[in-house]
Structure 1
């Protein structure tokens, strides 16, 4: 998602309009008189009705909404976000109050409570009756607002953000108070475009940061005792506590790293994103779902432009998706010390339904939803508040606190560094970070790998808290020599984060390791680039990787991994370059070059592939790889393939025949396959195949252009696409068996993670398009279809959309394969070692 796109998301969540005369708004040219022509579609059985509580011209561009104990509805109205020169509305934001005096579900009285803010973001009534308000730059409160008709003056400022950052919606955002702990206030903060900032609490506490990404914080409700809870967010725009006391945030995604995330926040959490490494989220040193040591993954997937979040009774949450015009329901289930969330529609609407924030009536009978209405980033004169009435009131009563992650003792924390649960490890690290002297003499080298990794993360966090006076930075050389790739990664990133130039030689030495991995290589290249150019954010390793590949003074292992790590579509990775690598007479380089040629988009690759296929001095499997690579060009090369189909070596002959069959140039009869729900019959089909499986054939089928073609949506060892899950380590995951794989291949819709649910678009010219979201950049939306090809749609061309429950992965993928080929494909996924 682009930054511009994210802007829109936050806009929605940030906006609040100011006016001087409550009556004048209905007569102003800047407030639209267009009325809603729809009611949101209901998807939940407990919803009795949805009514339009208020709309333009009585309010415009609403963001935060908060219901007072007496039932009055307070709404932030934003007139300042992306305000254009021709907008004639009030100069500042305001807080309006709506009342339904006759009980018909529609507001009939409106007043102005306050006006004067800019870049407003959220609004919240605390159990104390005070109204808490956030803008991009501060959190304030209006004392006893629940008993007042208008503000007495300016709000009391609790926390102030001192920064030169002035983008409207990536500053202070979501507000949350746990009813069971009413003296504590949590709030979110966006990535601030990497600009330095300092938070100042009411007691003078100061917390500073800059390029680390978005964060969450907690303080007392008077602004004292300010502390950072988590980091690694893009923008924690929505915040809430569930009834069990777990803190959650919504998190929008960077330019190129969907999806939006639902995050379970605990003290010391790091969710992996850092603006210092660019907006795209694709830098080798950042992650989005807990892939890097010391980071936590998402609790659940959210739709685009996620804004507000609120509990929905016990073990459920609601979230607002501004871009996808819907409110989603998430069921929370335990996952170790944390939780994971499902996703289903709760309410949905057309393009002019853009929900932002929520608030309940005190009895739980009604839910109020602010609606930004238009896709426009600039304030635009439209706005609505919807009221959802429930058949049964939603419980708002806090539960006994049994699920909180307790802070362990120091000795216990040291032990828990090796826990398999990332949330338990995070709690352990958070304890140890507070007691650096207690761990400085630990014999960490004797710990198991998981404990060593998170001990290293702990040392790094201690030093980063102390800035230039870090006490553990001298441990970096030992960490770089550790046998664990994860431990080395922590040290490599530490060097980059702090631009430790004096470790350059040590980094370069890592490239000579025999056990160098692709992640090691990319991390080292990225770290070297960072210390060479500290202010550069975005980074692509491809130029450096190509240079390493072509430097014949480098070890072959390094050159092979560098070549394997290169993007196939890198403009300088030409057919000519790959042909030169084939001439090196090194089997590992030749194999990787052929594997790239097999999926390279340039049709001129045929000559190089034919040369390998016909070279009798080469290994038969390498030649077969080249033959399979000709599948997309089989018709043009049919003479060569026909000749190879009669080759004396069975590996070569069989692959040539398979290539001809895949192009329809040779026929073969296959028995009918079992139906998708006959899993036992599929297993029997495979188990009855004689002989041993051949993962080499399986690999060729995985990357085959005409047959299985799994690479079009999945990646293995850096090759392929990441539309679906990366399958590199699937064979190392618990519970992955032949039966499991068969189930998910023959019936891909049987179990489908929410992130992989495709969208179906109906365009105004009658097209029906199905695809997975890969990019949402303002008016231009990117999707990938079941054929693995990317297509783009202008948002104005879309008449309707819906989320499908059927996977984008088509059924019948195994039908063109023999039972032996299916077994070989499964063997590759279960046994491959590259």
Structure 2
């Protein structure tokens, strides 16, 4: 075993084939029918000023000259390539080279290992310059004569890609995409869209095109995606690099977008169909993926999931910091070779390695396949194809729209979007089943037929919020200006969620004449820089309109940026004349708007027994973020008739326990309670006084003991206040429905993905299972200062890290002494020591209700 490596599968062997100076900054790799190893050696990937390498990239050929099984001969196949990123052999045996802007075919007519000529097949005609990691990235071939090309998001800049025959695909403000063309560069077309930077793509045994896609700044995880024709995977560059926007999705959150198959670690770079190698039998139908940032190689444990797949990853190879695996290839014997960039530095640096991964003798291996073998039959797909393409009966297709399988729904929407079904589809817009109405909307939108856009007005009045949300997105995405005055219908037709209101605001922005003109003319090169303001006084007019629903007015108030005007509105909406729902939302909002006058108003709400219990309890919670001077008046609430008011008062006063009046009140109240009393209030008093409430807990983090302790159900309403309290600190890093921080995962739907025991583990052992996208990083400056955060981005001259205190912060590399991964979670251990047993049960109930 090489030093510094761990093989987590003891049936495998890892050995070094070649290293610098013989091979430097290797990136793409491919193997021909003679088992010769072709390696793309990069010399033009942001080379430093004093770089001593050649002016162009090289493709080197490694071969076994004496038949002893070792690659002992090396020559140059081609040179002079600019910003090469990937290579692959076509079914015809020609080597195709992907650069940041073009796709070339290189020909070796006499088979001597040297290319005599080459031909450009595809290329970007704009932009003139592009960052190498945000343009053309990967290539794969299918047995039926198509080549598939992956393109990054070009940073939001307008782009156009052209084939040999003049066919083009272009975009402005869209996400990255997968395109395909014939092997000669003809018939270029878009295959799928909505990616961030899809660095590599490979087919599995069943013809599924799997794509390794990097993640945007504030969205995660990196993902392994099953790309299907016409698929939209949710990202749009026009809405910024964060990936957080009401028109964006990352895991199929929006109707019309598709989910990913497997969550990957940071910076996935290369894919390999495991069945093309001689690997242990249980690797059948899996993929291998190199995780560049985490110095590892993982296998994907995938299972069929309807018409797609889903699964998890398992690390099989892990190295130290100077292990940066990139691309894979296999020879006819099933040996795996992969390139290693070695250093974390993006610029060319003169280091590099090639490794070999094999299976030990006497290990039962899988049924090995070869690159261009016909795809195996895949029963779910075959049945779906028969239903969707071979026998497209309208009513059968419509029934598919009710499926829980998003890939079946997508395939059905694609089929229904054809002209032949238009008239029948228009009759389904008022179907009794909301799934059919939603599918009808998506199919009509997918058709691109402007003559059917009139029906979107009816969808704006649908009783189901998600359908109204989708109608707004259709209007905004297609810039249907005729519906500008109808948008408000979506707010008046029924329940209004915060997500719906956000989509409504964004749609209003997208339909402003100034924006529409600027977008159409591509007035600004970078679509992310197009300004999308709301009309003047738009939000304030919503807030001031008494005819609007209380929720709408409160939502609008939350988006206003003028704090001086907000204060007056806050004070108005807090009075008893307003709807209790409005008052409650304002009270909750004020935790993050410190002001002495507002603090006094919150105090009076908390003290007034004529107010609802929930409003009073939440007012006390919000006071924990306010500069309250007369706080001792809250001591009297320990004797209030309402239990939740007592509990919140005690929680607030715990921070004042060193004040004599508070300590005395706690002791007197506690002594008045019987020994058998184990109420939530008593627990607050005990933990405040540092008494026995924690003594009955497990001494360590034994999960079974904790699960038994927290088995009974709590109060979810109280749990919401725990979540936002200064004792739990959950909302410092986590958000629910837009309220809270974003250093950690959004927990709006956490109850769908985690059960009670998993949540307990997450609280007690935050480092036990960390999702890759929330990996912590540190930056140590030369002056000794250390900054911690997540979503690090290393550039040529600077490093950007997302921090809790300041959001994205940029540091010059000149000022940095060191940086790297934090082994433990950014979420600190021991938070449960600030919470009572009742707090923990209430918090769990609140989260499980999400």
Query: What's the CA shift for 1:292?
Result: 0.8
Residue 163 (1) aligns with residue 129 (2): no
Cα distance 1:248–1:552, how it changes in 2: closer, same or farther (>3 A)? same
Contact map agreement 1:564 1:592 (CA 8 A) in 2: no
Cα distance 1:197–1:788, how it changes in 2: closer, same or farther (>3 A)? closer
User: Equivalents in 1 of 2:65, 2:623: separation in Å?
Assistant: 75
Query: What's the CA shift for 1:234?
Result: 1.4
Query: What's the CA shift for 1:522?
Result: 0.9
- Of 240, 243, 246, the match for 1:278: 240
Cα distance 1:297–1:131, how it changes in 2: closer, same or farther (>3 A)? same
Cα distance 1:87–1:605, how it changes in 2: closer, same or farther (>3 A)? farther
- Of 55, 66, 69, the match for 2:20: 55
Residue 317 (1) aligns with residue 282 (2): no
Cα distance 1:564–1:394, how it changes in 2: closer, same or farther (>3 A)? farther
Deviation track 1:780-831 (CA, whole Å, cap 9, x = no partner) reads 353668x999999998544764656x79474662773244x44444444455
Residue 715 (1) aligns with residue 732 (2): no
Deviation track 1:627-680 (CA, whole Å, cap 9, x = no partner) reads 223446799765233233234544433321232236545441426135755658
Q: In the alignment, which residue of structure 1 is the partner of 2:790?
A: 773
Q: In the alignment, which residue of structure 2 is the partner of 1:344?
A: 314
Q: In the alignment, which residue of structure 1 is the partner of 2:671?
A: none
Cα distance 1:496–1:823, how it changes in 2: closer, same or farther (>3 A)? same
Cα distance 1:616–1:723, how it changes in 2: closer, same or farther (>3 A)? same
Cα distance 1:602–1:172, how it changes in 2: closer, same or farther (>3 A)? farther
Q: In the alignment, which residue of structure 2 is the partner of 1:7?
A: none
Query: What's the CA shift for 1:64?
Result: 1.2
- Of 403, 408, 413, the match for 2:397: 413
Cα distance 1:274–1:651, how it changes in 2: closer, same or farther (>3 A)? closer
Stretch moving more, 188-197 or 474-483: 188-197
Q: Which runs of 5+ in 2 are unaligned?
A: 276-283, 520-526, 659-665, 667-684, 687-691
Contact map agreement 1:419 1:425 (CA 8 A) in 2: yes
SS of 2:197's equivalent in the other structure is coil
SS of 1:459's equivalent in the other structure is helix
Q: In the alignment, which residue of structure 1 is the partner of 2:299?
A: 329
User: Equivalents in 2 of 1:725, 1:283: separation in Å?
Assistant: 16
Q: In the alignment, which residue of structure 2 is the partner of 1:44?
A: 9
Cα distance 1:279–1:104, how it changes in 2: closer, same or farther (>3 A)? farther
Contact map agreement 2:94 2:105 (CA 8 A) in 1: yes
Q: In the alignment, which residue of structure 2 is the partner of 1:449?
A: 434
Query: What's the CA shift for 1:557?
Result: 2.3
Stretch moving more, 659-668 or 246-255: 659-668
Q: In the alignment, which residue of structure 2 is the partner of 1:355?
A: 325
Contact map agreement 2:777 2:790 (CA 8 A) in 1: no
Cα distance 1:122–1:442, how it changes in 2: closer, same or farther (>3 A)? farther
Contact map agreement 1:319 1:327 (CA 8 A) in 2: yes
User: Equivalents in 2 of 1:503, 1:384: separation in Å?
Assistant: 59
SS of 2:488's equivalent in the other structure is helix
Cα distance 1:237–1:728, how it changes in 2: closer, same or farther (>3 A)? closer
Stretch moving more, 807-816 or 476-485: 807-816
Q: In the alignment, which residue of structure 1 is the partner of 2:528?
A: 537
Query: What's the CA shift for 1:572?
Result: 6.7
Q: In the alignment, which residue of structure 1 is the partner of 2:353?
A: 384
Q: In the alignment, which residue of structure 2 is the partner of 1:428?
A: 412
Contact map agreement 2:108 2:115 (CA 8 A) in 1: no
> CA RMSD for the aligned pairs?
4.1
Contact map agreement 1:418 1:450 (CA 8 A) in 2: yes
Cα distance 1:554–1:41, how it changes in 2: closer, same or farther (>3 A)? farther
SS of 1:425's equivalent in the other structure is helix
SS of 1:444's equivalent in the other structure is coil
Cα distance 1:554–1:384, how it changes in 2: closer, same or farther (>3 A)? farther
Stretch moving more, 391-400 or 231-240: 391-400
- Of 61, 73, 82, the match for 2:37: 73
Deviation track 1:79-115 (CA, whole Å, cap 9, x = no partner) reads 3344566556444333222335468998654322112
- Of 574, 584, 587, the match for 1:582: 574
User: Equivalents in 2 of 1:548, 1:308: separation in Å?
Assistant: 52
User: Equivalents in 1 of 2:509, 2:28: separation in Å?
Assistant: 42
Q: In the alignment, which residue of structure 1 is the partner of 2:678?
A: none
User: Equivalents in 2 of 1:45, 1:655: separation in Å?
Assistant: 55
Contact map agreement 1:126 1:177 (CA 8 A) in 2: yes
Q: In the alignment, which residue of structure 2 is the partner of 1:699?
A: 720
Q: In the alignment, which residue of structure 1 is the partner of 2:661?
A: none
Cα distance 1:298–1:557, how it changes in 2: closer, same or farther (>3 A)? same
SS of 1:292's equivalent in the other structure is coil
User: Equivalents in 1 of 2:19, 2:559: separation in Å?
Assistant: 55
User: Equivalents in 1 of 2:730, 2:302: separation in Å?
Assistant: 32
Contact map agreement 1:358 1:370 (CA 8 A) in 2: no
Residue 486 (1) aligns with residue 466 (2): yes
Q: Which runs of 5+ in 1 are unaligned?
A: 1-36, 464-468
User: Equivalents in 1 of 2:770, 2:420: separation in Å?
Assistant: 41
Q: How does 1:810-825 map to 2 (within 5 A)?
A: 810=829, 813=832, 816-819=835-838, 821-825=839-843
Cα distance 1:756–1:279, how it changes in 2: closer, same or farther (>3 A)? closer
Cα distance 1:436–1:220, how it changes in 2: closer, same or farther (>3 A)? same
Cα distance 1:603–1:366, how it changes in 2: closer, same or farther (>3 A)? farther
Q: How does 1:474-553 map to 2 (within 5 A)?
A: 474-532=454-512, 533-534=515-516, 535=519, 537=528, 547=540, 550-552=543-545
- Of 760, 771, 776, the match for 1:754: 771
Contact map agreement 1:165 1:192 (CA 8 A) in 2: no
Q: In the alignment, which residue of structure 2 is the partner of 1:14?
A: none
Q: In the alignment, which residue of structure 1 is the partner of 2:101?
A: 137
Cα distance 1:714–1:764, how it changes in 2: closer, same or farther (>3 A)? closer
Count of residue correspondences: 774
Contact map agreement 2:428 2:440 (CA 8 A) in 1: no
Contact map agreement 1:256 1:775 (CA 8 A) in 2: no
Query: What's the CA shift for 1:525?
Result: 0.9
Stretch moving more, 611-620 or 452-461: 611-620
Residue 657 (1) aligns with residue 650 (2): yes
Query: What's the CA shift for 1:523?
Result: 0.9
User: Equivalents in 2 of 1:678, 1:235: separation in Å?
Assistant: 39
Contact map agreement 2:335 2:356 (CA 8 A) in 1: no
Q: In the alignment, which residue of structure 2 is the partner of 1:27?
A: none
Deviation track 1:709-734 (CA, whole Å, cap 9, x = no partner) reads 43234332321234555443456x49
SS of 1:236's equivalent in the other structure is strand
User: Equivalents in 2 of 1:727, 1:123: separation in Å?
Assistant: 41
SS of 1:813's equivalent in the other structure is helix
Q: In the alignment, which residue of structure 2 is the partner of 1:9?
A: none
User: Equivalents in 1 of 2:380, 2:511: separation in Å?
Assistant: 40
User: Equivalents in 2 of 1:240, 1:62: separation in Å?
Assistant: 20
TM-score by length of 1: 0.81
Q: In the alignment, which residue of structure 1 is the partner of 2:682?
A: none
SS of 2:438's equivalent in the other structure is helix
Query: What's the CA shift for 1:422?
Result: 0.4
Cα distance 1:756–1:799, how it changes in 2: closer, same or farther (>3 A)? closer
Query: What's the CA shift for 1:122?
Result: 1.1
Q: How does 1:109-128 map to 2 (within 5 A)?
A: 109-128=73-92
User: Equivalents in 2 of 1:570, 1:537: separation in Å?
Assistant: 24
Stretch moving more, 166-175 or 393-402: 393-402
TM-score by length of 2: 0.80
Contact map agreement 2:592 2:625 (CA 8 A) in 1: no
